[in-house]
Structure 1
Amino acid sequence: MAVADAWSAMTSGHPYHLARSAEEAIHGLRRSAGTQVDPIVVVAIVAESAAEEAVA
């Protein structure tokens, strides 16, 4: 749940910060993997993001 929440927070625009690109969000998740979030879940999210980009 924490990874999905972090992804949403980073890729959605808010009055206090602009939305980050998927590439920037992936970089942020990878930095947090193993300390703040589960690295296995990060791998799954990154794979899903790559699959979505391939379809688009």
Structure 2
Amino acid sequence: MKQANPRGTFLKIADPVKRQIEDDPNMAEFPSLAEVMRDHKVSRGIALRAFGVLR
């Protein structure tokens, strides 16, 4: 069974969120924290770190 490796996970989430923002010129804000957590099945801490990278 493959174990999750949290190291770098936030970077794997930041990339698709960045593309989502770039692809939608009308997007004025980041997706919500809850959306990122749900869509990528990650914890709040990982989602917050991804947002930190995007800033």
Superposition TM-score, scaled by structure 1 size: 0.38
Superposition TM-score, scaled by structure 2 size: 0.38
